[in-house]
Amino acid sequence: MFSQISRILIGCIILVALGGFFQIATAATEEELLAVHEASNNALNAHDVDTMMSLWTDDIIYDYVAAPSPADGKEEVAAFFGAMFQAVPDFHVEQRRKLVSGNIMVTECTVTGTHQGEWMGIPATGNSVQLIHMDILEFEGDKFKRLTTYDDSVSFLVQVGLMPAAELDPALLVPSFTVPEAEPTGLSPLEADAEGRSRWNTHDLSFYAKVVHPDAEVLIAPLGLTLSREAYIASQEL
């Protein structure tokens, strides 16, 4: 009896170990993930929904943060992109930067197109739009399992005429205090980012400025401005 139980336990351990081995063996490399993303981006620009869906898992979740709720599964995701291509027939994405860590990819993109059909309840305006957005992609093997898109919705509403453009005179972006020099933290990029957010939440901008790089360039997309370190600190003060 003991021998039979032992064999069963050993068999289970071997199966678990083999499962982990095959999972590691089938994990896609960074180059493979970049190639899959390139194929998906080409299909996106060709408005080829079928090819896009072939590169995604059946249980894909697409969380377009401007939408009321995520699209769940290939059918809903395909319907989302089909509606978007109808609303913006010349929709095009230009990739700018891609960062990969394990099975996670972050991309920065520029989107262009003409608003020629109803989109998310907004009637066609015929206006051209150019937006910046960011995608966070989670892979399962060599397929997309989850995609989260953050885009510049304010600029979209401005460009289609539903919101007045923000106006800010760059000459006003001068801090009311002497901005201290940046101080090296000795932290990893992720740790430094967390430290910076923690300092920002104190509203002590002098303290916060010390973790902002001397040559920092900060894009404020809705304003169409790329700010220097001091101008950025001034904008946060305002």
Contacts of 88 (CB under 8 A, 6+ apart): 113, 114, 115, 116, 117, 119, 129
**Averaged pLDDT, 138-159:** 94
CATH number, domain at 108? 3.10.450.50
Residue 121 has pLDDT above 50, yes or no: yes
Whether 15 maps to a domain, the answer reads: no
For residue 8, tell me if it sits in a domain. Answer: no
Nearest CA-CA partner of 234 in 172, 182, 181, 180? 172
Nearest to 64 by CA among 151, 154, 144: 151
Instruction: Give the per-residue pLDDT at 221.
Output: 82
* 188 in the same domain as 119: no
Angle at the Cα of 103 from the Cα atoms of 101 and 107, rounded to 5 degrees: 60
Q: Are residues 32 and 139 in the same domain?
A: yes
Return the higher-pLDDT residue of 78 and 220.
78
The verdict on 153 and 189 lying in the same domain is no
Please write down the HEC assignment for all residues of the chain: CHHHHHHHHHHHHHHHHHHHHHHHHHCCCHHHHHHHHHHHHHHHHCCCHHHHHHCEEEEEEEEECCCCCCEECHHHHHHHHHHHHHHCCCCEEEEEEEEEECCEEEEEEEEEEECCCCECCECCCCCEEEEEEEEEEEEECCEEEEEEEEECHHHHHHHCCCCCCCCCCHHHCCCCCCCCCCCCCCCCHHHHHHHHHHHHHCCCHHHHHCCCCCCCCEEEHHHCEEECHHHHHHHHHC
The predicted model gives 71-98 an average pLDDT of 96
Q: In the listed set 102, 134, 159, which residue is the last one of a domain according to the structure? A: 159
pLDDT in the model for residue 73: 95
**Domain, as residue range, for 133:** 28-159
Q: What is the pLDDT of residue 167?
A: 81
pLDDT above 70: residue 127: yes
106 and 183 together in one domain: no
Do residue 228 and residue 146 come from a single domain? no
Q: What percent of the chain has pLDDT over 90?
A: 75
Half-sphere exposure of 45 (CA within 13 A, CB side): 13
4 to each of 16, 181, 229, how far by Cα in Å? 19, 70, 69
For residue 168, the model assigns a pLDDT of 81
- What pLDDT band is residue 100 in, cutting at 50, 70 and 90? very high
Residue 112 lies inside a defined structural domain of this protein: yes
Tell whether 135 and 179 lie within a shared domain: no
Does 39 share its domain with 148? Answer: yes
Same domain? 41 vs 154: yes
What count of other Cβ atoms lies within 10 Å of the Cβ of residue 182? 15
| Number of domains forming the structure of the chain | 2
The model's confidence at residue 70, banded by pLDDT at 50, 70 and 90, is very high
Q: 110 lies in a domain? A: yes
| Closest residue by Cα to residue 190 from 182, 181, 198, 202 | 198
Q: Are 64 and 71 in contact (CB under 8 A)?
A: yes
Least confident among 18-27, 96-105, 115-124, 207-216: 18-27
Q: Which of 25-39, 76-90, 193-207 has the lowest mean pLDDT?
A: 25-39
Beta bridge partner(s), residue 106: 99, 136
Q: Structure tokens of 88?
A: 């913006």
Averaged pLDDT for residues 92-119: 95
- What is the predicted pLDDT for the residue at 81? 96
